[in-house]
Chains A and B, each alone.
Chain A
Amino acid sequence: GAGVSQTPSNKVTEKGKYVELRCDPISGHTALYWYRQSLGQGPEFLIYFQGTGAADDSGLPNDRFFAVRPEGSVSTLKIQRTERGDSAVYLCASSLTVLGGAGELFFGEGSRLTVL
């Protein structure tokens, strides 16, 4: 597709379960970002990748959160032992490059996670 694709669009799970959220960036974009957005708030940075490596994971709230991008394209955000406080919209974005460029992010529609 032409844009950033995120799946699932909605995920309802029970407290303590494991979830995976997938992001398929725009083809050729080397930088990929994950953000978390709570209701009425701006996006909160979680992690970004330049190619396959996590260039900055300082936004991950704790070790229950992990993200991978093994082939430098699709990324998966993994959340273990989910808690009710993890409920939010998880946004993925990609950009042509992190270094240099105008820095425009192209966002997906988000994955809405609800932990019961």
Chain B
Amino acid sequence: KNQVEQSPQSLIILEGKNCTLQCNYTVSPFSNLRWYKQDTGRGPVSLTIMTFSENTKSNGRYTATLDADTKQSSLHITASQLSDSASYICVVKVPGGSQGNLIFGKGTKLSVKP
């Protein structure tokens, strides 16, 4: 069964610290993996996309990694800011699959404290 598991479920860090969020998937075959950021009361917004051939990609203070062999991705946030407080959702695209070809993780809720 295609699944996307995220850890930790929630995380609290102090402003300025780094953190890493994990996403493990059992999806096969695999098209791409995308990380979304969802602010409280808002819809998710795409942060970055990882394709099969990519190992790492940065978007400002966000760096995503992908290990297609172990089926793991991580999202690293550097020098966290209060505005990073949000839920981060990992979504894997399956070619020709059901559910619109997208499998969602449950998200990691990040709280950045001053």
Contact = CB atoms under 8 A, between A and B. Distances in A.
Contact of A103 (B31, B89, B107): B31
Given A31-B100, A42-B89, A107 B34 contact: no
Interface string B29-43: 001101010000111
A4 B101 contact: no
Interface in A22-81: 31, 33, 35, 40-45, 48, 55-56, 58-59
The 7 closest A-B pairs by CB, nearest first: A107-B43, A48-B100, A42-B106, A103-B93, A42-B107, A45-B99, A42-B104
Interface residues of B, number: 26
A41 B101 CA distance: 20
Contacts of B49: 102, 104
Contacts of B31: 103
Instruction: Report which residue of B41, B93, B99 has the largest number of chain A beta carbons within 10 angstroms of its beta carbon.
Output: B99
A107 B44 contact: yes
B46 to A, nearest CB: 5
A104 B46 contact: yes
Contact of A98 (B34, B46, B100, B109): B100
Contacts of A55: 100
A33 B100 CA distance: 8
B43 A4 contact: yes
B109 A103 contact: no
Contact of B107 (A41, A91, A108): A41
B14 interface: no
Nearest to B107: A42
Contacts of B106: 41-42
A93 interface: yes
B104 A45 contact: yes
A104 B44 contact: no
B43 A40 contact: no
A58 B36 CA distance: 23
B1 to A, nearest CB: 14
5 contacts: A41-B106, A59-B99, A98-B101, A104-B34, A107-B45
